[in-house]
Amino acid sequence: MAKKKLTETVVKNLKDDELWDTDVRGFHVRLRASGKFFYYSYRVKSTGQKRKASIGRYGDLTVVQAREVAQSMAGEVALGKDPIAEKEAARIEVARSKNATLEIFLDGEYKEVTSKKTANDVIPTVKNHFSEYLEKDMSEITAWKIEKWKKAYKGEAAGCNRILESLRGVLTKAVKAGLLTKHPLEGVKGNKVDKKKKVRYLSAEEEIRLRKALGDREQELRAKRTRYNKWLLQRRKPLKPDLTKLKFADYLKPMTLVTLHTGIRRGEVFNLKVRDVDFSARVLTVAGGGAKSGESRHIPLNKEAYSVLKQWVEQNKLERGDLVFANPNTGKRFDNIKNAWKSLMESADLENFRFHDLRHTFGTRLAQRGVDLETLRDLMGHSDIKTTQIYLHTSNQLKVDAVAKLEQMAFQDEDSSAKVVKLS
């Protein structure tokens, strides 16, 4: 290790790769292809860890200025401090002051580095369930506060876990961005989920009620539009489209029927574009970018699903790049359809039936009709076949039939034994 008192002349004429100062211990200069750079090396008193702090480039700093910086750092080290750690903490504090609240981070850096699909799902979820933190520094989110939130949450364990994972993902990126020094949810676990819990799906009688409610809603929308157009006509104002001449009054009926017959997830139906539907092959493709599993899957369209999609696309004169079901108020992707769905469920007198349960109905009916597990998994888009197996527990009749087969085999064995004759 070459040593010499660093001066302007010495550094200017430096030929060695590295030269250490004899006046200030740890102060040195390194020769690189891009120039000469000053550093200060030291050990952290509390841990003994070796550290090397960059001071700056020769030319931007004189030797005297660089030595003063090194002497200042040496003073900090003597007091038991870690100059690099303190500099990093200061940098984080500056960044946090600009981008530290949860809302600013969600709408800014998080949105920039996250896929559109994920951001569209996560941001509304976090804002809705953790609104009290939106205008606060993210450091105020603590494991204890989230544990209290978990206890107060009134929904199902699986739903609670999904919301929790949304927040966890956001905070993970905040840590990576240097806005948090430690993950606030470290040690916070999800709630235990009953994996054999009975799946909610439509019975035949309930489907009749659902379809009637959809029809009644359509008629109500048409009647309402007719009254409104009459009012506009009386005032000589431009009329709205006559809904009595259209197959569908709005999005809810076709969206519901398509989901019932394809089992696609809510987010997948919100993301569905016309180009994802091959009308000639009668196949709907869930694109990997919009799928929960990240993998594309292809679902054959039965007669009603095909007819509904074709009529809806033609009715709205949709182009290949258009969303199949766009929000009529914004023309953009739906965030949710909670109000319309709640009203429909009340009309159909259906209790505890979510939009997602249309998917469960699709999966359950396939299982009830003896579709093999691998095919069912492909159609449902499950990455783990254990998830698919929940549909094997939804029909008591299937279990009864399975046990009955064992009984039939026993009788066959008994009959076979009875036919054995000893020849002697």
Task: Give the CATH number of domain 8-81.
Answer: 3.30.160.390
Counting runs of H as helices and runs of E as strands, what totals does the chain give?
17, 7
What is the assigned CATH class of domain 97-176? mainly alpha
Do residues 3 and 19 make contact, with C-beta atoms less than 8 angstroms apart?
yes
Query: In whole angstroms, how large is the CA radius of gyration of the chain?
Result: 33
d(CA 125, CA 86): 36
CB 204 within 8 A of CB 183: no
Q: Where are the domains of the chain?
A: 8-81, 97-176, 212-397
DSSP for 319-365, please give it. -TTSBSS--TTTSS--S--HHHHHHHHHHHT--S--TTHHHHHHHHH
pLDDT in tens, the chain (424 residues): 899 999 999 999 998 899 999 999 999 999 998 899 999 999 999 999 999 999 999 999 999 999 999 999 999 999 999 999 988 877 766 655 655 789 999 998 899 999 887 898 899 999 999 999 998 888 899 999 999 999 999 888 888 999 999 999 999 999 998 888 899 999 899 888 766 667 889 999 999 999 999 999 999 999 999 999 999 999 999 999 999 999 999 999 999 999 999 999 999 999 999 999 999 999 999 987 656 666 789 999 999 999 999 999 999 999 999 999 999 999 999 989 999 999 999 999 999 999 999 999 999 999 888 888 899 999 999 888 888 888 876 655 555 655 665 655 555 555 555 444 444 4
What order do you get walking across the sheet with 277-278 strand by strand?
Answer: 277-278, 283-286, 297-300
**C-beta of residue 265 within 8 angstroms of C-beta of residue 292:** yes
Alpha-helix residue ranges (DSSP H) falling in 44-196? 63-78, 83-99, 102-105, 111-113, 116-129, 143-152, 157-176
CATH number for the domain formed by residue range(s) 212-397: 1.10.443.10
- The arrangement of strands across the sheet holding 35-43 comes to 18-20, 27-32, 35-43, 50-57
Triad 394, 400, 403: Cα angle to 5°? 125
pTM over 0.75: no
Where do we find the tokens 């409104």? 228
